[in-house]
Amino acid sequence: MLRNAAFGIVGMAAAGPPAGTEKPAIALTMFGVTTPCVTIASEQLRDRFDCVVFHATGTGGRVMEKLVDSGLVSGVIDVTTTEVCDHLFGGVLSAGADRLGAIARTRVPYVGSVGALDMVNFRAIETVPAHYSHRNLYRHNPQVTLMRTTAEENRQIGVWIAEKLNRCSGPVRFLIPEKGVSMLDAPGQPFHDPTADAALFDAIEHTLHRTRDRRIERIACHINDPEFSHSLVESFLEIAS
């Protein structure tokens, strides 16, 4: 049975897809706390694009950037930039200092957002560095602990992202959901902090150099509201067509 299955896989790989079924591939980034947003956007785009979703776990971001560099994706909807938090503040899911570098190098159409920038990721609670012990920590499960980013940390994150985007000469749209950046950042949830969010949003807006091809827009909804997904899709279709 395994031998026959192997032959079947080889045959399909050699033949390739049926003529006329190829669609351009686009990359989307997702985390558990931004899943509704990415799911809706993917559903709206799947008739026109092969939507390849990368989980923002450090490895996911690095793989996505490599595929962008290789020319295998024709656009990026970077909903979830949370790996930047881990890179700057010692979390375990960093994608490294070159996150967003491939976007600048290739000029690929890019729509970005602030998904899950409210959290830094650590392993079990006892692995959280001692200097963070007083912080707002959320035990997602026994193996995963999330730390809420502060207003000052969010300011640094916003500047870092905007400076990266300033190096992009291709079409860029950056959308900000004013009512929250993750499932945990909503009224009644443990990471709801409008002051910290405002510091993030203001830092991005003040640092980003707007041009005809590089624009930023605030949307008066939560990142997981359907309206925000629709805005992401509309922005991407505008620059990818």
CA distance 128 to 207: 31
Owning domain of residue 100: 24-117+150-240
Q: Is the residue at 86 inside a domain?
A: yes
Predicted confidence (pLDDT) per residue in 104-129, tens digit: 999 999 999 999 999 999 999 999 99
β partners of residue 177: 219
Q: Is the residue at 127 inside a domain?
A: no
Number of independent structural domains in the chain: 1
User: Hey, is 126 helix, strand or coil?
Assistant: helix
Low-confidence ranges of the chain (pLDDT < 50): none
Q: Is the residue at 140 inside a domain?
A: no
Q: Is the residue at 2 inside a domain?
A: no
**Which among 180, 194, 187 has a CA at the least distance from the CA of 224?**
180
Q: Is the residue at 128 inside a domain?
A: no
CA distance 138 to 127: 13
Q: Is the residue at 76 inside a domain?
A: yes
**CATH number of the domain bearing residue 155:** 3.40.50.12030
- Can you give the pLDDT at residue 6? 66
Going by the DSSP 8-state scheme, the letter that residue 115 receives in this structure is T
Going by the DSSP 8-state scheme, the letter that residue 33 receives in this structure is G
